Amino acid sequence: MDAPSLEVPLSPPRRASRVKRWVIGVLLLLAIFIGLAAVKAGQIMAMISAGETFVPPPETVTSTKAESFGWQGTRSAVGTVLALRGVTLSAELPGVVTDIRFENGATVKKGQVLVQLDTSSEQAQLTGAEADAELARLTKDRADKLHAQGANTQSDIDIVRARAIQSAATVAHLKSLIAKKTLRAPFDGRIGIRQVELGQLVSPGNPIASLQSSNPALVEFQLPQQALAQVKQGQKVRLHVDVFPGESWEGDLTTINPEVELSSRNVRMRATVPNADGRLLPGMFASVEVLSDASQQVVAIPATAVLFAPYGDSVFTLSEGKDAAGKAALLARQQFVRLGERRGDYVAVTSGLTPGQTVVSSGVFKLKNGAAVVVNNALAPPVETAPQPVNP
């Protein structure tokens, strides 16, 4: 009897279907990836193409014309206000304060008694010394009469004369001591805050009060040695102090030091300024301008028109032209300049510009050479040679 045969069944159709699905999925993913890559590449190419043809919009700026001004030549410096005469009063001899005859900050006259020290001891000695001097004078007179009659010798005359001179000298010495204990104002001026009180014992050199005469006032400042060619005595000087903004004082340059300081190569100078109202006080910081006798023509523009840079200062001039798209536009051209004196909101241009040229007055920091601009002068700030700042 034959044994029954065992048959192995083939792989089920399910397995083949699974492989097919995997292959289809991979192909779909590849297709999606390729499609996304193509879209992205198209976008990048479009951006590159747009960037190559992009024309930036014109910048809004303000403009002005370079003007020719007649500026009076000046030399600026910083200085210090000084008193015409100033001294700290002090006692020459020791003593006790018995009288104070001035008020703090008062105006005093030359010779006015300010402080009196105790002189009772000197006064008592002076009384005795004057009596001795009177006796010595009478003795001398009698001796002279007797000598004329031949009743005494020349030696006697010499003794009594020496005695009279010595007595007179003692009186003069005591009067001098009393005078030195009476402190008087050495000149007209304004006295400061007193530093002594009644009954106080003062020693020689102890400060009593400060006395300042500040009409006219002196202003001391320094200028570089190069200024000696343009500055001379008698030139007008204008003074400003921060305490009184908007106000100025005018005076004359009265002193030029005859030597140049080795450390700074500067020359010390002094000006005399009328100060009838006494508002200029010694020690004040001051801005000084030495005015030239003649004016000079300069080309000036607002300082905001200058693009300051380490490699050189420049401005942007305006001219008609075509932008990157080939359209007519107003273009800004960078032009290097050399600057001179600055006065208020203006700065002088010594080279690089001619009067009448139009320049960008504000907004230069956002420009580059050849940039298209639009001018809107309604936004232009005011420009003055002597601006007056206003505190909010």
Instruction: Tell me the CATH number at 124.
Output: 1.10.287
Tell me, yes or no, whether 289 and 370 share the same domain.
no
Residue 4 in any domain: the answer is no
Domain boundary among 294, 328, 363: 294
Domain end call among 294, 313, 338: 294
207: CATH: 2.40.50.100
User: Which is more confidently placed, 245 or 8?
Assistant: 245
Residue 311 lies in a domain: yes
The tens digit of pLDDT for each residue in 246-285 reads: 788 888 888 888 888 888 888 898 999 988 888 888 888 8
Tokens of 281: 């006080």
Same domain, 300 and 375: yes
With respect to residue 325, please indicate whether it lies within any of the assigned structural domains: yes
pLDDT at 10: 47
Count of domains observed in the chain: 4
Closest CA to 217 of 80, 75, 74: 80
Same domain, 204 and 97: yes
Residue with tokens 């003069």: 172
Domain boundary among 262, 294, 326: 294
Question: Domain check: are 107 and 207 in the same one?
Answer: yes
Query: Domain check: are 312 and 275 in the same one?
Result: no
| Whole-number percent of the chain with pLDDT over 70 | 88
Q: Are residues 300 and 365 in the same domain?
A: yes
Higher pLDDT, 286 or 75: 286
221 φ, ψ (degrees, to nearest 5): -150, 175
Asked whether residue 360 is assigned to any structural domain, the reply reads: yes
Q: Is 175 helix (H, G, I), strand (E, B) or coil?
A: helix
Kindly report the average pLDDT of the chain as a whole number: 81
Summarize pLDDT for 219-247 with one digit per residue, the tens.
999 888 888 887 888 888 888 888 888 78
Query: Whole domain around residue 224: which residue ranges?
Result: 75-84+214-294
* 105 and 195 fall within a common domain: yes
Q: Please report which confidence band the pLDDT of residue 169 belongs to, taking 50, 70 and 90 as the band edges.
A: confident
Residue 29 lies in a domain: no
Please state the length of the chain.
392
Q: Are residues 96 and 134 in the same domain?
A: no
Strand order, beta sheet including 107-108: 85-90, 207-213, 189-191, 107-108
**Residue 260 burial by Cβ neighbours in a 10 Å radius (0-12, 13-18, 19+):** middle
pLDDT at 12: 60
Domain annotation covers residue 7: no
* 38 within domain boundaries: no
pLDDT tens for residues 173-200? 888 888 888 888 888 888 888 888 888 8
Whether residue 78 has pLDDT greater than 80 = yes
Are residues 192 and 225 located together in one domain of the fold? no
Q: What is the pLDDT of residues 86-143, one digit of tens each?
A: 888 888 888 888 888 888 888 888 888 888 888 888 788 878 877 877 777 777 777 7
pLDDT at 392: 47
Q: Is residue 80 part of a domain?
A: yes
Residues 305 and 375 in one domain: yes
R_g (Cα) of the chain, nearest Å: 48
Cα angle at 385 between 384 and 389, to 5 degrees? Answer: 60
Confidence of residue 336 (pLDDT cuts 50, 70, 90): very high
Give the per-residue pLDDT at 1: 47
